[in-house]
Amino acid sequence: MKRKKVVLITGASTGMGRATAELLALKGYEVYAASREPQRLLDLREKNIIPIYMDIADPKSVEKSVKALGRIEILVNNAGYGLVSSVEEFDEREMFDQFNINVFGLLRVTKHAIPLMREANGGIIINISSFLGKIGLPLLTMYNATKYAVEGVTDSLRYELADFNIRVHSIMPGFFDTQFARSNLATNKDTFKEESPYRHIVSNLIPQIVEQINSGNDAKEVARLIYRIIEDKNFPTRATVGDKAKKFIPMRKELSDEDFERRVKEYYNL
């Protein structure tokens, strides 16, 4: 009997992570769904998905959780959140926490998964980035910066791991109807005060962003894309998914910096 390939998915309790866990389990993979709140995943055990505790902000938690699996052929780095704040008003803890989850956490999990993949002479790492890893937006500077970093990590790791038959991909989703706007957006209290010098940007931009997320694409689209990447060894390095990503990423490539910025300002009434 052919051995099932082991998949580890971080941030699997909701949204893209949960949808991916469900699809890959259905397709016959051995899926480990990681979360800081694994009790939220208990219903998935009926779907042959194994919930595990992992806090990607804690190096010891990551090391212990990954080593306990013993084998990983596919890693989906999905966990993350967004900070809404001006650069002038964020505090040091907010800045560190944003990078600690979206970048350092991703690197921690990847660091411990790589030896298991090398021992198996192959593997796949899929980093869930964002179309905002190529496009800046005001008040999302820290989130943008982390996703730009994820794109850099992806590009560098492809070279680093090529000799070990380990593929590295990034997915740049647009806005999706997940729990992101409801649960995974953190806000700086000063930026949202009436007296903030950035109040006009907040009032113009943030309602649009929240509405676009809440009315965005279905997370199952990302799950299906992840499955395609896994199954196709010749799949491109990075892929976009969702209406906003497919609109803005090609535009970003075609226009000058100045023209693109003008388009974004017009689109969001900035």
Within 10 Å of residue 240's Cβ, how many Cβ atoms? 22
DSSP letter at 166 equals: E
Report CA-CA distances (Å) from 97 to 104, 142, 198: 9, 10, 22
Using alpha carbons, list the distances in angstroms from residue 22 to 47, 78, 220, 247: 7, 14, 9, 28
Tokens encoding 201? 């940007």
Helix (H, G, I), strand (E, B) or coil at 15: helix
Question: Does residue 227 have an active-site annotation?
Answer: no
Q: What is the rounded CA–CA span in Å between residue 162 and residue 72?
A: 17
Of 143, 148, 159, 267, which residue is the catalytic one? Answer: 143
Taking CA atoms, 247 is separated from 111, 132, 153, 169, 263, in Å, by 34, 12, 24, 21, 12
Round to whole Å and give the CA distance between 192 and 175.
22
DSSP designation for 100: I
- At residue 170's C-alpha, the angle toward residues 164 and 173, to 5°, is 165
How far apart, in whole angstroms, are the C-alpha atoms of residue 205 and residue 260? 17
Task: State the chain's maximal CA–CA distance in angstroms.
Answer: 66
Distance in angstroms (rounded) separating the CA atoms of residues 121 and 154: 19
DSSP state of 152: H
Q: Mind telling me the catalytic residues?
A: 143
